[in-house]
Chains A and B, each alone.
Chain A
Amino acid sequence: MELMVLIALLNGGLIALSRTFNGALAKHSHALIASCCNHIVGFVLLSAWIICLENGANQLQGQPPVYLYLGGVIGALFVVLNSWALPSLGVMRCTLLVICGQMLTGVVLDIISSANGIHWASLVGVCLMLAGVVFLNRLKQPTPQVKHANCSL
């Protein structure tokens, strides 16, 4: 159990690391290039992993509907937007805002897809997060600015 907790925490750290790398690349070149490198490197690594550990679990069972493959397209756009915003917001602020967008969308998707409404605790959570975002943007002084915030998208 403790090991699993440690792995999950470490995993979150890896996410932050990945986004910071992409942000650095976007700052030096372009957010699209960052997304491109991220996906190609990830694809090569995961290909190697799947080939090395071929045990039948990764076989396709049945034909998934085509729209499910759009996840890849959306993921590519996510990395573009995220690496664009990260250099001028700082890692912590950017992470917080991404978490908010993610959780709020999750709740909206739940409301759309489930017939019996949502739990009250979710609504409290949504309000808390929205308040947090407003609070974050009410700071008098903005974060120290990156000299060449890459606005060329």
Chain B
Amino acid sequence: MQVSNKLTLLMSFVALCSGVLLALMIKLNSQLAMYSSPLWASWMAHGIGAITVLLMLFLLRKMLMGKEAKSALNADANLSRLPWWAYLGGVPGAATVVLAAVTVNSELALAGTLALMLVGQLILSCIFDCCGYFGVVKRRIRFTEVIAMVMILLGAMLVIYSH
């Protein structure tokens, strides 16, 4: 229990850090979009991102090979089969860009779009967690988590609409 608690804390920190990166990325991409269009900026970002990861995979290949071989030894049989849809994360990711461009230019503007996207994210996240869809570990959402969710959502709305 102690170990998993530590892991949860570490992963919470990692998730927070990824949020920091996300904000920086959005800032840079929106500036890049001013030179052409959001679609073009995102296309460019995906291309550069792909090159970056390929480069990282190439540089770290020795380390990864060693780790992979080790983890393959004690992996569960049911985990070793990779579902086909797991490769398709880029599809909804790319669609997001196009749809966001549509709603930002409507009456919703940027603030409304951001707020509604946060709500949509959280609704579907809860559904995935509760039902255990797409390889997610099925679990009940606790009451304290709902309170934390409301606090964070309210805080985010305040930040978005105070602009």
B is bound to A: yes
Main secondary structure of the interface of B (DSSP, over half): helix
Q: Give the number of chain B interface residues (Cβ < 8 Å).
A: 120
CB closest chain-A residue, reference B98: A49
Answer whether A94 and B20 are a contact pair too, CB < 8 Å, given A46-B43, A73-B48.
no
Task: Report the number of A-B residue pairs with Cβ-Cβ less than 8 Å.
Answer: 452
A90 touches B136 (CB 8 A): yes
A85 touches B18 (CB 8 A): yes
A interface residue count range (under 10 / 10 to 19 / 20 to 34 / 35 or more): 35 or more
Answer whether A41 and B122 are a contact pair too, CB < 8 Å, given A20-B134, A69-B32.
no
B9 touches A97 (CB 8 A): no
Q: Whole-angstrom distance from the CB of A1 to the nearest CB of chain B?
A: 6
B129 touches A91 (CB 8 A): yes
Q: Whole-angstrom distance from the CB of A63 to the nearest CB of chain B?
A: 8
B18 touches A76 (CB 8 A): no
Binding site for A on B (CB under 8 A): 1, 4-5, 7-9, 11-12, 14-29, 31-32, 35-37, 39-54, 56-57, 60, 64, 67-68, 71, 74-76, 79-80, 82-83, 85-100, 102-103, 106-108, 112-113, 116-126, 128-129, 133-137, 139, 141-142, 144-145, 147-149, 151-152, 154-163
